[in-house]
Chains A and B, each alone.
Chain A
Amino acid sequence: MKYRIIDHTADFGLQIFASDLKTLFADAAHAMIDQITDINSLKGLNEYDVHVTGSDRPDLMVNWLREVLYLWTGEEKLVKRARILSLSEYELSAKVMYDTYEPDRHIIKNEIKAVTYHQIQVKSLPDGRWISQIIFDI
């Protein structure tokens, strides 16, 4: 997982780099969770299927991360690993492995309120890699 944090006065963002699109989408979820808690300390014991659609790749990225974030904010599921099963420009199916939040076992580093469309990017780089930039409201 290769990502960097970008600075934004009121909020913060992530830039994720990957050699292919499936990895890009999976690692975007991993990077987001890694900002919420230490992803390495999570156990990936339970499985959950996610299916999202979007009007283009940036929209699909926002909708995918929304789902993963809701698993945390709404259902207290912290995703350790995401496996992208199928991916097109408009649709994504994934299996995620998650750990259920336990206050004694998990340290919550940051609150992420929402995934925003602000300056959202999903694009290929001249060297053939992919990059995505996402700004979060925190």
Chain B
Amino acid sequence: MELKKIDDYRWELPRTGAMRVPGIIYTSASMLKDSNQEEPLKQVANVATLPGIIKASLAMPDMHWGYGFPIGGVAAFDWESGIISPGGVGYDINCGVRLATTSLVEKDVRPRLKELINALFQNIPSGVGKTGSIKLSLAEEIKVLKQGARWAVSQGLGTDSDIEHTEDNGCMPNADPDMISKRAMERGKKQLGTLGSGNHFVEIGVVETVYDQNAARIFGLFEGQVTLMLHSGSRGFGYQVCDDFLAAMAKHINKLGFNIPDRQLSCAMIQSKEGMNYFNAMACAANYAWANRQILMHRAREVFSKTLSIGPNELAMNLVYDVCHNIAKKEVHIIDGEKRLACVHRKGATRSFPPGSESLCDAYRSVGQPVIIPGDMGTASYVLVGTQKAMEETFGSTCHGAGRVLSRKAAKKASKGRSIQRELEDKGILARWTGRSTLAEEMPDAYKDISQVIEVVHGAGISKKVAKLKPMAVLKG
């Protein structure tokens, strides 16, 4: 596919065939050269054919081949005349990341690091299909689906300040548990408070560099500070919700009178019973994920306090922010000078709202939304801040991570004869994991160079660098 260079950070995929709008790819010349872009570009073009799409089908620099929509894709659809697609959100609905600061510095933690990561490993259930210590009754599960992170706080697992520092205050209000299948309810009741497998993780890190002193101060970050980051989602509950609605929409799509290039793009008009049912079911899964990450963070707080024998006030494990990167949101955007309601799909992309945004808590309104971008477990992660440029160009969105370059199989092959654990230890990083091949599949070489991804979004101005974190210890599912 022919790309037209716009500037050093933007390439256009011109409108051809059934595309209703062009594609815009945020990337760099070296990233374009490096990896196989043909398949994800085809997916960017496929998304551009869907009814109601506004302006362009977008891809972030961590774009890679997904199913249906590319991962790293952003697409906004007109709220009145556009579609909503479960495949545009993904199976792990509201998969996301949260970052917490502490009062500790590296030298406080380094000597106790092994104890700390072992204690996290023992207290945070992780791995395939793992069930948690919380068993929900049907009535309680319904409360989780309606209340999100607030449910966890009502159980004593967090603080009001955690809620303020969570995207959408950890709750999408349109959640309707009546839209949820028995199967999803069944899977959901056992898995709350579990990390999951694959690329989900808990990481103890340290702030290596601060780029923007003002934003860092407001976010509570300083150089040398120990942080806690975690990445998880809505577990089997969300997968089942996505699957149930994909099945329903694959049937429904034939009635809509337009062709889709791939069944995984099955969708419904937002203004239809099918579309709204999905939107309201998706919100339940989003809320489940927020409750889940809230519980996981609180468990980590308890582990830190107990292991290091310090009280919660002294530890001061405060949530900087919780962002979701697999979601469809109802948002107002200015399109050609006019306010328009849109359904913004972010599949492997993070919201990046600017200073002044009404949806931010008071503390962050002057500076903009914290954007948390995890890298691979051996390199670095970043804290960015949202910008006005993102509002103008990407429906307030930016990248979500490093993005894979090697398939899991290829990563396993590349790790043959190496000890990934030793390689990490040589860099001062301790790793604990559950799955047999997790460490090999998730090794640093399997991912794009996070700094290149960050340079693109920073250079393009769709989010700005605040701080860089380096990992000290990581727990993988």
A interface list, Cβ under 8 A from B: 5, 7-12, 55, 58-59, 62-63, 66, 70, 73-74, 107-111, 113-120, 135, 137-138
Question: Do B250 and A59 touch across chains, with their CB atoms under 8 A apart?
Answer: yes
Nearest B-chain residue to A118, judged by Cβ: B67
- When chains A and B are docked, how far (Å) is the Cα of A110 from the Cα of B254? 34
Give the A-B contact count at a CB cut-off of 8 A. 90
Query: Measuring CB to CB, which residues of chain B are less than 8 angstroms from any residue of chain A?
Result: 64-68, 71, 91-92, 128-129, 183, 186-187, 196-198, 236, 239-240, 242-243, 246-247, 250-251, 254, 262-264, 266, 404-410, 435-437
Q: Which residues of A contact B196 (CB under 8 A)?
A: 111
- Known contacts A9-B65, A10-B66, A73-B187: does B128 contact A117 (CB below 8 Å)? no
A137 contacts B250, CB within 8 Å? no
Residues of A within 8 A of B408 (CB): 12, 138
**CA A119 – CA B435 in complex, angstroms?**
28
Name the one of A7, A113, A118 contacting B410, with C-beta atoms under 8 angstroms: A7
| A-side contacts of B68, CB under 8 Å | 116-118
A111 to B262, CA, bound (A): 24
Q: Is the CB of B198 within 8 A of A111?
A: yes
Q: Which one of B91, B250, B436 contacts A114 once the chains associate, using CB atoms below 8 Å?
A: B91
Once the chains bind, are A74 and B239 in contact (CB under 8 Å)? Answer: no
CB < 8 Å neighbour of B92 from A55, A113, A118: A113
The 4 A-B residue pairs with the shortest CB-CB distance in the complex, in nearest-first order: A118-B67, A117-B263, A111-B128, A116-B67
- Give the residues in chain A near B242, CB-CB below 8 Å: 114
Beyond known contacts A62-B247, A73-B239: 8 more, CB 8 A cutoff: A10-B67, A12-B408, A63-B247, A66-B247, A107-B436, A116-B67, A116-B68, A117-B263
Please report the C-alpha to C-alpha distance between residue A7 and residue B410 in the assembled complex, in whole angstroms.
8
In the bound complex, do residue B250 and residue A7 qualify as a contact, i.e. CB atoms below 8 Å apart? no
Bound-state CA distance A108–B129 (Å) is 9
- Alpha-carbon distance A120/B129, docked complex (angstroms): 26
Q: Tell me how far the C-beta of A77 lies from the nearest C-beta in chain B, rounded to whole angstroms.
A: 12
Cα–Cα distance between A9 and B404 once the two chains are bound (Å): 7
**Residues of A contacting B128 with CB < 8 Å?**
108, 110-111
| Interface pair A5/B198, CB less than 8 Å apart | no
Residues A9 and B409 in contact, CB atoms below 8 Å apart: no
